[in-house]
Amino acid sequence: MMQFLQNLGASTRTSFTKLGRATYFLIQTLAGIFSILIRPRLLMNQMFSVGVLSFLIITISGLFVGMVLGLQGFYILSDFGAEESLGIMVAASLVRELGPVVTALLFAGRAGSALTAEIGLMKATEQLSGMEMMAIDPIRRIITPRFLAGFLSMPLLAALFSAVGIIGGQLIGTGLLGVDDGAYWAQMQTQLDFYDDIINGVIKSVIFGFVTSWIALFEGYDAIPTSEGVSRATTRTVVNSAFSILGLDFILTALMFGDN
């Protein structure tokens, strides 16, 4: 019993010190934002490797998710004779939920794990210490641009995901299952609310972008500088990001759509 309490205390303390380190890390990262604005090139390069290189996986996944929504939505709605509402059903599911959430999950797997591995290996090969000794702050030079890039790419990728998904739903709905093309788009236009749906979706993906980039970069920066340490950190990035995304999604949804 005593042993159990001791272990519990020790692990609680470890988690809290880690949380403290993570917060300090975040503050330092944010403090570097100004210096990035002077050198937008650093940000551009990272936007490319974090954002642009995730395009393909996001587009393909968005297309398939949209197509599945089209199929499932049609079967349910046609029971009520409401096939015309397929457009709004697909669009609302994507913009409110699936766009931000699935994009963030894919992002954590594709870009987040890569960021952790990159930073962890830079630490393991002393590149970060080397930079410090050259009087260059690795947080400003390496971490902040990657953080900003992740944070800014996420809403764009989520918008891409939703847009492609809506087209996927249309391909199936109107192309294959014979829903009226005009109704698909018209219902969407009239029913989808700019603030309630679109802005809330964007807010979600901005928050997910913030959290996933933070987790990925911190896990890399805090990794034990060995191959095993980096591999564990990469796993933790994907697992912790997924938990945070899904947990936060529930909270945000409750806050945003709770009063409807």
Partner 1 sequence: MDNSDSSQNTLVSVRNLTFSRGNNKIFNDISLDFERGKITAIMGPSGTGKTTLLKLIGGQLYPEKGIITVDGENVHRLRRKELYELRKRMGMLFQSGALLTDMNVYDNVAFPLREHTHLTESMIRSLVLMKLQAVGLRGASLLMPNELSGGMARRVALARAIALDPMMILYDEPFTGQDPISMGVLVLLIKALNETLGLTSIIVSHDVCIFIIQPKTMWMIYYPLENGIEVMLGYAIANPTYAEQNFS
- C-beta of residue 154 within 8 angstroms of C-beta of residue 102: no
151/11 Cα distance (integer angstroms): 31
Indicate the residue among 126 and 181 with the shorter CB distance to partner 1: 126
Which of 35, 59, 72, 127 lies at the binding interface for partner 1 (CB under 8 A)?
127
Whole-number Å distance between alpha carbons of 29 and 43:
14
Cα separation, 183 vs 204, whole angstroms? 28
Nearest distance, CB of residue 130 and partner 1, angstroms = 3
DSSP 134: T
Residue 224 interacts with partner 1 (CB under 8 A): yes or no: no
- Candidates 56, 60, 136, 239; binder of partner 1 (CB under 8 A) is 136
194's CB contacts (< 8 A; 6+ apart) are: none
Exactly one of 63, 109, 141, 203 binds partner 1 (CB under 8 A); that residue is 141
37 binds partner 1 (CB under 8 A): no
Residue range at the interface with partner 1 (CB under 8 A); choices 68-76, 118-126, 205-213, 247-255:
118-126
The interface region with partner 1, picked from 97-105, 126-134, 174-182, 205-213 by CB under 8 A, is: 126-134
Question: Quick one: tokens of 87?
Answer: 């457009």
Per rule CB under 8 A, count of chain residues that contact partner 1: 15
Regarding 20 and contact with partner 1 (CB under 8 A), the answer is no
Using the rule CB under 8 A, which residue among 6, 7, 11, 125 binds partner 1?
A: 125
| Given 1, 5, 37, 135, the residue binding partner 1 (CB under 8 A) | 135
Among 207, 217, 97, smallest CA distance to 151 is for 207
- Residues 197 and 211: their CA atoms lie apart, in Å, by 21
CA gap 227, 143 in Å, rounded: 20
> Where do contacts with partner 1 occur on this chain (CB under 8 A)?
121-122, 125-127, 129-137, 141
